[in-house]
Amino acid sequence: MLSRASFAKHSFRTASTAARYASTKSLRETLQDVIPAKQEQLKKLKAEHGQTVVGDVKVENIIGGMRGLKAMLWEASVLDPLEGIRFHRLSIPDCQKVLPSAPGGTEIIPESMLWLLLTGQVPTPEQTRQLSQELAEKGELPVFVEKLIDSLPKTLHPMTQLGMGVAALNHDSSFQAAYEKGMKKQEYWTHTLEDCIHLIARLPALASRIYRNVYKPDAQLAPIDKNLDLVGNYANLLGYGDNHSLTEYLRLYIALHGDHEGGNASAHTAHLVGSTLSDPYLSYSAALFALAGPLHGLANQEVLRWQLAMQTEIGDNITHENIKDYLWKTLKSGQVVPGYGHGVLRNPDPRFIALQEFCQSRPELRESPIIKLVNKTFEVAPGVLKEHGKTKNPYPNVDATSGCVLYHYGLTEFKYYTVIFGVSRALGALTQLVWARALGLPLERPKSLSMDALEKLIKNP
């Protein structure tokens, strides 16, 4: 088990952060403070620039999965194709400098990322600690959800189970209950926030119950420790609480992976479903089923499967030439190289780089055969993909390494990896639901066209 020592006894990584961003306000008070200015900003945008053109819609956008279309409002993060993600103007290295870490740790703690995403402000260590405590206090699952998950066949994919569990949690939705009583529009965001906090709090218990049922049916689930942070509890519940490095890795991975703009399939799904005023549980459940697709969240399990197959085929003779041959074999068989390419990025993913740095900081990972293979593949794959000439981005995305680190630390059940991604992505998708309700964003309803209608429009624009 992880240390239960109270947060207060430990100093967080960034003592200077507290000085720079000192505030004693709660999360709700901080949001109350920042929302009016954003509402004003949106009102002004609508009034002064409602008719301003900011881009063209080309036929290739319509038939090309809406790539590049600027068509969604998403407050918490913006993705630059070359630089990567910024969370409220902070790049990943900025976040690593200023966001508090866990007691005894050095990596970003997801609670501090959640606070940043929600409020645009860097929390103090004390605010982070308070949020951790709140999440731990709300972390127990209702008994009926435990029974529901326990009744599912262990052969059912863990992502299906996660989506079902999250949907069932809407039994206790504050938003839904208040809506039925006729709450005012101005109150939407407060009830949405309550649901989002409850949902994030319960994800470790839900996700670890699925893990236990599917892979370790005889294991006892640890109780939630009220003194631990979200990932500290998650690691304990998974049975890896003793592994400090893995717990730190999970904190970093879950924090960094929490949001990646709004257009990716899972975030967009949550946003779309939320725009119907479905509650956060139903909205995020839908998002999880988008995340379960191989071109999206399933990629990390695919990377591991692919790297292990490569390892089996080329054995100990890991040379650039052998890896190159294997890459070409994959491409010639009509498959994509998992972990490479991206819908928006056109450079190596800074999240991949941050995880690589984590690997370099740990001697056991530096020596790990699978991590060595990931590194060697990175030295060769961009060249091969450029020569292949199809992908717009021949560089690695975050999934090129994420699952391989879990594998090294003994969490080898790779069908489960997307569940961890699902725990992470809740931070960003749920943040946006709060903002969508605070800003009163409307029902999403883009216009679709048939090919005939499109041809007609091309002739007579």
Residues carrying an active site annotation = 296, 342, 399
In the range 331-350, which residues lie near ligand COA by CB under 6 A? 331, 336-343
Closest CB 425 distance from ligand COA, rounded Å = 11
For residue 238, which of 63, 420, 104, 403 has the smallest C-alpha distance? 420
How far is residue 141's CA from residue 165's CA, in Å, rounded to a whole number? 10
DSSP per residue, 187-205: GHHHHHHHHHHHHHHHHHH
- Please say which residue, 228 or 400, places its beta carbon nearer to ligand COA: 400
State which of residues 43, 58, 329, 392 lies at the interface with ligand COA (CB under 6 A).
392
- Which helix (H) or strand (E) covers residue 373, if one does? helix 369-388
Q: Which residue has the closest beta carbon to ligand COA?
A: 341
Q: Which stretch binds ligand COA (CB under 6 A): 95-103, 243-251, 384-392, 413-421?
A: 384-392
By rule CB under 6 A, what string of x and - marks binding of each residue 240-279 to ligand COA? ----------------------------------------
Q: How far is the CB of 306 from ligand COA (least distance, A)?
A: 10
Q: Which is nearer to ligand COA, 2 or 337 (CB)?
A: 337
Comparing CB distances to ligand COA, the nearer of 73 and 336 is 336
- Nearest Cα neighbor of 109 from 3, 256, 328 is 256
362-365: Cβ within 8 A, 24+ apart: 362/245, 364/245, 364/408, 365/245, 365/405, 365/408
What letter would DSSP give residue 107? S
- Write out the two tokens for 374: 């990931």
**Residues in region 297-326 near ligand COA by CB under 6 A:** 299
Opening angle at CA 211, ends 223 and 338, nearest 5: 140
Please report how close the Cβ of residue 349 comes to ligand COA at its closest, in angstroms.
8
Q: What are the φ/ψ torsions at residue 397 (nearest 5 degrees)?
A: -100, 180
- Characterize 413-442 residue by residue with b for buried, 16 or more Cβ atoms within 10 angstroms of its Cβ, and e for exposed: bbebbbbbbbbbbbbbbbbbbbbbbbbebe
127/330 with CB nearer ligand COA = 330
Which of 123, 394 has the CB closer to ligand COA?
A: 394
- For residues 424 and 230, is the Cβ–Cβ distance under 8 A? no
Site track for ligand COA across 398-427, x = CB under 6 A: -x----------------------------
Residues facing residue 85 across a β-bridge: 79
CB closer to ligand COA out of 20 and 386: 386
| Half-sphere exposure at residue 333, Cβ-oriented, CA atoms within 13 angstroms | 8
Of 101, 174, 397, 402, the one binding ligand COA (CB under 6 A) is 397
Q: Which residue's structure tokens are 């990646």?
A: 260
Binding piece for ligand COA, criterion CB under 6 A, among 75-83, 148-156, 355-363, 391-399: 391-399
The least distance separating ligand COA from the CB of residue 311, rounded to whole angstroms, comes to 18
CB of 262 to ligand COA, least distance (A): 15
Residues 52-111 that bind ligand COA (CB under 6 A): none
**Positions in the binding site for ligand COA (CB under 6 A):** 295, 299, 331, 336-343, 390-393, 397, 399
